[in-house]
């Protein structure tokens, strides 16, 4: 099978027949994360701020399982119970990210699992192999003066 299921130890378990994330080549798709405490399985917080913080922590736990971070996210879809929470959600969401920010959609929905206020799903690109190649090219090799990236010395 080409698709690999990601089942992180430090993130909430799936509530149904789905994987917290699946990876196909360099593409990773994170299932929607809700504000569940991974240890207790209980909802964290009542406010949009508290719940968004927990959702972002859960996303980070899934990403960390693969050695990835928030900067690998290319697209998020945010589902909120009330678009009136949009500004407060944005403050928390932005505190976890840096520019360039991922592309994003945000939609109000009638109801979310366990009646939470927010759920966020992500599309991610695993660029770790490319990042390692770039570092190697910038540093050069031990037989060169450094920074050459050409590997003309045979290494």
Question: Which positions are catalytic?
Answer: 106
State phi, psi for 50 to the nearest 5 degrees: -60, -45
Q: How far apart are alpha carbons 75 and 131 in whole angstroms?
A: 20
Cα–Cα separations (whole angstroms), residue 66 to 27, 141, 143: 12, 27, 32
Judged by phi (left if over 0) then psi (alpha if -120 to 50, else beta), residue 154 lies in: left
Separation of alpha carbons 107 and 38, rounded Å: 25
Measured CA to CA in angstroms, residue 92 lies from 88, 146, 147 at distances of: 7, 42, 39
């Amino acid at each position: 099978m080409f698709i690999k299921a990601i089942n992180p130890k430090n993130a909430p378990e799936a509530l149904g027949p789905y994987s917290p994330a699946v990876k196909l080549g360099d593409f990773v798709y994170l299932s929607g994360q809700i504000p569940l405490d991974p240890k207790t399985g209980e909802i964290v917080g009542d406010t949009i701020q508290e719940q968004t913080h927990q959702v972002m922590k859960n996303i980070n736990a899934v990403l960390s399982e693969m050695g990835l971070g928030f900067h690998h996210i290319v697209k998020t879809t945010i589902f909120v119970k009330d678009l009136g929470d949009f500004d407060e959600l944005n403050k928390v969401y932005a505190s976890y990210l840096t520019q360039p920010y991922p592309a994003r959609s945000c939609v109000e929905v009638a109801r979310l699992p366990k009646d939470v206020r927010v759920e966020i799903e992500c599309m991610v690109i695993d660029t770790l192999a490319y990042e390692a190649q770039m570092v190697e090219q910038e540093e050069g090799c031990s037989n060169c003066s450094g920074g050459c990236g050409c590997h003309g010395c045979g290494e």
